[in-house]
């Protein structure tokens, strides 16, 4: 791999955002994901190559570590933040079609529920894995999911709930969305949920952690 | 009906780094060495973002346990078999609530926007602080009943151990309005989010037993992680 792309992948893996960031300590003062992405573009490396041969490689590595119990949510978030810093330089290439997202994901915490930390973690990790994420926020009603899907008909949906009172709303939300968009894949998450619950309400999957989720998505694309 | 409310000084809260790191998933401090300095910064800031309040109310009406319910006066909690097995020798009980305040919710959310790892760690620290506040109020309740020659059960909360979270509506209807600054949404979410509510039973023969995690179906419960 090109040396600059290897360095960039390493920064993503280690969560080194930019030169000013103090994390990780052993890389203090070094260029981070932001500077290296800019340098790669100046060297005329295509945006898609930067995405696929550096950023996603770094995210996959941290994801593997997470899966093996050698990294935890904070490291995953630091890598995702470094990925976001890199992606900010690539945005124009996505906008003009020179680089492409894996797909579009619409995420939200279901109506009645205000918990957002789990949803935000999934959002960051999906973005880190090359997805365009539309975040509808918390207390999201069925119509908001449907409107977002109308505007992004190839999108996937991810919804979360942390309360047993709000998780039971998911069944109606999933049913109502699938009446209008029968082919859409809807995934659910949140502490009180389970694979069995996901099946019962007609959703397409439940994932207890974001790494398992992105691995699954890579497999079905 | 005796009602007690307290403001808990942060100095009386136990915030243990090893325990918070374990809650995040780190098996030991060595494996968290890269993020320990982030933890230390956030933990240092947490005190000024919290306003820790807790309180309890004593119910001395006749209590009965029937059909997996706790019945008292005109009220009924659907506590379920797991909790009722633990409450079976109680004569009276206390309802309690504890919170670390709304400012912490706002602070940890805005921190997540700027620095997700720090925001996430703040969220776990908040959970640890509110559990410590619940320990604090549990200890007060234990002392209250101990002075009356009674033992206490463990503490149990709506939403855990098979007790439906929807019973929060009955629970909060029994507390004074805005008790400790906590309100309940229509979907039974406590605001501030870092709040805990629950029941502790007491009686001459009441005892504190371990949580029965292996017979509960809530796989991701924090109590299961602790035991």
Q: What is the largest CA-CA distance in chain B?
A: 55
Please give the radius of gyration of chain A, using alpha carbons only, rounded to the nearest integer. Answer: 18
E runs forming strands in chain B: 3-7, 53-59, 63-66, 69-72, 75-77, 92-99, 151-156, 183-184, 190-191, 195-203
Is the pLDDT confidence value at B212 over 80? Answer: no
pLDDT at B225: 56
Residue B17 has pLDDT above 70, yes or no: yes
Task: Collect all residues with Cβ–Cβ distance below 8 Å to A140 and sequence separation of at least 6.
Answer: A108, A109, A110, A111, A159
A vs B: CB pairs below 8 A: 82
Q: Tell me, what's the pLDDT at A165?
A: 86
- Predicted confidence at residue A219, as pLDDT, reads 86
Interchain contact, A78 vs B24, CB within 8 Å: no
pLDDT digits (tens, 9 = 90+) for A37-60: 999 999 999 999 999 999 999 999
DSSP state of A53: I
Radius of gyration of chain B (CA): 18
Q: Give the residue with greater pLDDT, A114 vs B118.
A: B118
Cβ <8 Å between B189 and A112: yes
Answer yes or no: CATH 3.30.310.10 is held by domain B3-226.
Answer: no
Domains of chain A with bracketed CATH: 3-95 (1.10.1240.10), 104-220 (3.40.50.280)
A103–chain B Cβ distance below 8 A for any pair: no
- In this prediction, residues B178-199 reach a mean pLDDT of 96
pLDDT at position B79 is: 95
Looking at residue A205, its pLDDT comes to 96
Q: Which pLDDT belongs to residue A191?
A: 85
Q: What is the pLDDT of residue B223?
A: 58
Q: Tell me which residue in B26, B159, B186 faces A164 most closely, judged by beta carbons.
A: B159
The pLDDT assigned to A212 comes to 86
More reliable by pLDDT, A125 or B136: B136
What mean pLDDT comes out for the span A52-80?
Answer: 93
Look at B212 and B202; give whichever has higher pLDDT. Answer: B202
pLDDT, position B197: 98
User: What does the pLDDT read at residue B217?
Assistant: 62
Q: How confident is the model at residue B206 (pLDDT cuts 50, 70, 90)?
A: very high
For residue B92, the SS3 value is strand
- Mean pLDDT to the nearest integer, B23-29: 93
User: What's residue B214's pLDDT?
Assistant: 64
pLDDT attached to residue A211: 84
| For residues A91-108, average pLDDT | 92
ipTM over 0.85: yes
- pLDDT of B147 reads 97
- pLDDT-based confidence at A1, cuts 50/70/90? low
pLDDT of A192 reads 86
Mean pLDDT of B133-149: 97
A23 touches chain B (CB under 8 A): yes
Query: Which residues of B touch chain A, with CB atoms under 8 Å apart?
Result: 24-27, 31-32, 34-35, 37-38, 109, 112, 115-117, 119-121, 123, 159, 164-166, 185-189, 191, 193, 218-221
Between A8-22, A185-199, B44-58, B211-225, the lowest mean confidence (pLDDT) is in B211-225
Residue B190 in contact with residue B197, Cβ under 8 Å? yes
Name the strand (E) or helix (H) holding A219.
helix A210-220
Supply the mean pLDDT for chain A.
93
Residue B220 pLDDT > 70, yes or no?
Answer: no
What number is the average pLDDT over the span B96-104? 98
Taking an 8 Å cut-off on Cβ atoms, the answer to whether B115 and A81 are in contact is: yes
Range in A108-117, A156-165, A209-218, B213-222 the model is least confident about? B213-222
Averaged pLDDT, A199-220:
91
Least confident of A161-165, B137-141, B214-218: B214-218
Under an 8 A CB cutoff, do B220 and A117 touch? no
Residue A133 host element (H or E): strand A132-135
pLDDT at res. B55: 98
Length of chain A equals: 221
| A120 touches B: beta carbon within 8 Å | yes
What residues pair up with A133 in beta bridges, in sequence order?
A105
Q: What is the pLDDT of residues A12-38, one digit of tens each?
A: 999 999 999 989 999 999 999 999 999
Exposure string of A77-111, with b = 16+ CB inside 10 Å and e = fewer, is bbbbbbbbbbbebbeebbeeeebebbebbbbbbbb
């Amino acid at each position: 791999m090109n040396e600059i792309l290897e360095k960039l992948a390493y920064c993503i893996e280690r969560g080194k955002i930019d030169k000013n960031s103090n994390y990780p300590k052993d890389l203090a003062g070094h260029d981070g994901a932001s500077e290296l992405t800019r340098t790669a573009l100046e060297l005329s490396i295509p945006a898609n190559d930067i995405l696929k041969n550096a950023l996603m490689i770094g995210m996959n590595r941290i994801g593997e570590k997470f899966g093996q119990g050698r990294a935890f949510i904070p490291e995953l978030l630091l890598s995702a933040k470094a990925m976001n810093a890199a992606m900010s330089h690539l945005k124009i290439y996505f906008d003009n079609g020179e680089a492409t997202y894996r797909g579009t994901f619409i995420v939200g915490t279901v109506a009645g529920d205000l918990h957002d930390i789990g949803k935000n973690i999934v959002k960051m990790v999906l973005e880190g894995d090359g997805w365009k994420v539309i975040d509808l926020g918390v207390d999201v009603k069925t119509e908001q999911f449907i409107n977002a899907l109308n505007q992004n008909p190839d999108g996937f949906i991810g919804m979360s709930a942390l309360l047993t009172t709000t998780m039971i709303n998911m069944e109606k939300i999933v049913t109502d969305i699938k009446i209008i968009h029968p082919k859409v894949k809807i995934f659910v998450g949140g502490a009180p949920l389970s694979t069995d619950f996901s099946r019962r309400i007609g959703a397409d999957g439940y994932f207890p952690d974001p790494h398992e989720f992105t691995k699954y998505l890579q497999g079905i694309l | 009906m005796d009602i007690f409310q307290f403001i808990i000084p942060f100095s009386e809260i136990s915030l243990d780094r090893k325990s918070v790191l374990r809650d995040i998933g780190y098996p030991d401090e060595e494996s968290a060495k890269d993020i320990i300095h982030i933890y230390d910064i956030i933990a240092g800031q947490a005190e000024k973002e919290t306003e820790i309040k807790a309180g309890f109310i004593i119910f001395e009406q006749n209590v009965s346990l029937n059909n997996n319910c706790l019945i008292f006066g005109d009220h009924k909690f659907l506590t379920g078999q797991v909790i009722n097995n633990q409450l079976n020798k109680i004569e009276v009980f206390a309802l309690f609530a504890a919170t670390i305040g709304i400012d912490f919710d706002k602070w940890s959310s805005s921190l997540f926007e700027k620095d997700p790892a720090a925001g996430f760690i703040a969220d776990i620290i908040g959970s640890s602080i509110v559990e410590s506040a619940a320990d604090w109020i549990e200890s007060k309740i234990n002392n209250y009943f101990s002075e009356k020659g009674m033992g206490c059960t463990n503490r149990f909360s709506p939403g855990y151990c098979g007790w439906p979270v929807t019973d929060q509506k009955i629970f909060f209807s029994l507390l004074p309005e805005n008790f400790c600054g906590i309100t309940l949404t229509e979907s039974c979410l406590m605001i501030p989010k870092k709040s805990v509510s629950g029941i502790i039973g007491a009686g001459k023969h009441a005892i504190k037993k371990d949580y029965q995690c292996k017979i509960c179906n809530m796989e991701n419960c924090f109590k299961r992680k602790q035991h």
